[in-house]
Structure 1
């Protein structure tokens, strides 16, 4: 398994699409700094009576929005690109026990997406706090411990979305179809859920994978609506999504011809 992990790591870091994904993560990390600079300038220009009611998104907000999209792209390309190029047959010839390369691909994709998400979120949050300084901006800053837990769960949810999309890619075997399906789950279905009658609108919206991190550990001081699930329920649902997607993907990968 160690050799398989090393091989998959080498393949994933060698393709241009991976560099493009992490370049996008780096760009949105810089946008976190730009957002924090804007918040500081905006706060300085507010009159005293407005400061008591002003609300802003936290420093890591640009990454919180973009990381799930990057996770979908990386999760899809990790396996579907090999189906598109035919390299999957070479992989299976070298490792005929199909569960081994499948697990190695999933493990490498999930791990590097988690690491990239955690590092970028921490960098954006720390730099944002330094830029805003001692300005008491409501909903922007919180206790360091609470912020750390929030960022950790954002990174873990990003890794889970990577694994979910990876499993979906093993079933669909098409990069375009997998990315499109992932975007529908992340962007379209939550918006459609809001059109349903109460209380199903909030219940279904809360169950979407992209909305679970805020229900597990929301941004400190955030005044937004996070959903109706308890933290334990949100974690259980996230694990279930990943397990079902990986299970379906493993079954498809091991049972179908390459």
Structure 2
């Protein structure tokens, strides 16, 4: 297993697409600075404003950028034909999947939290004592949301990896991830009111605030989830995608 992990780590860090994806995710910092400067100018004119935190408003950028790492970790091998070499080096297909998941998970976990925390710190530093809404809350209060946001990025990357095993297509896997992150939550808004909130609570974008316990209400009657339930659902997305990917990998030839 150690050899499989080393091999996957070497493959991931030797392709430029990994660094391109991380670079795209790091745009959060640049866009967060623009966001904060603009909000600061408005606050100077109006004394105070209320705006969303940059690391939350720009989180989908990081999620999609790093999800591509998970997708390409397997689909690029199908495109180039190197999947046969991988299966020869690691005959146990379950071990191959676990090695890829371990490396993708570790890389995206570190990258996501680094980008999010740096964006958080720099934007608060620039905001200073101006009343922008998002900088009036303590770090200890924001920390659960920051950690959960980073975890959601890792989960989405693992979902992308699992869907890559299923589709064996970069475009197909990315479209599937986009559907989970944007299309399905939007479609849920068209459900009858009695179902809307309950279904939306299980959608990927809505799990982060529920885990961080920052919803206005957590009453089960409102259709919202308790933090431990939301965390289980979030991790369940990754487990489900990787499990389906494993069964598809076993049933197919390379």
TM (norm. structure 1) is: 0.90
The answer to whether the 8 Å contact 1:153/1:213 transfers is: yes
Within-5 A mapping of 1:35-184 = 35-47=35-47, 51=48, 54-184=49-179
Q: Tell me what 2:250 maps to.
A: 254
Q: CA deviation at 1:89?
A: 0.2
Within-5 A mapping of 1:215-230 = 215-217=210-212, 228-230=224-226
Q: Tell me what 1:242 maps to.
A: 238
Write the distance in 1 (CA, Å) between the matches of 2:251 and 2:29. Answer: 41
Alignment CA distance shift 1:168-1:83 (3 Å): same
Other structure's SS at 1:168 match:
helix
Write the distance in 2 (CA, Å) between the matches of 1:9 and 1:187. Answer: 30
The answer to whether the 8 Å contact 2:127/2:135 transfers is: no
Q: Tell me what 1:202 maps to.
A: 197
The answer to whether the 8 Å contact 1:68/1:158 transfers is: yes
Alignment CA distance shift 1:133-1:155 (3 Å): same
Aligned residues: CA RMSD: 1.9
TM (norm. structure 2) is: 0.92
Map Cα deviations across residues 166-200 of structure 1 (whole Å, 9 max, x no partner). Answer: 11111111111111111111111111111111021
Q: Tell me what 1:5 maps to.
A: 5
The answer to whether the 8 Å contact 2:166/2:248 transfers is: yes
Alignment CA distance shift 1:88-1:108 (3 Å): same
Write the distance in 1 (CA, Å) between the matches of 2:12 and 2:70. Answer: 11
Write the distance in 2 (CA, Å) between the matches of 1:219 and 1:205. Answer: 16
Write the distance in 2 (CA, Å) between the matches of 1:131 and 1:119. Answer: 18
Instruction: Show structure 1 runs of 5+ residues with no match.
Output: 222-226
Matched residue pairs, number?
249
Please, which moves more after superposition, 138-147 or 28-37?
138-147
Other structure's SS at 2:173 match:
helix
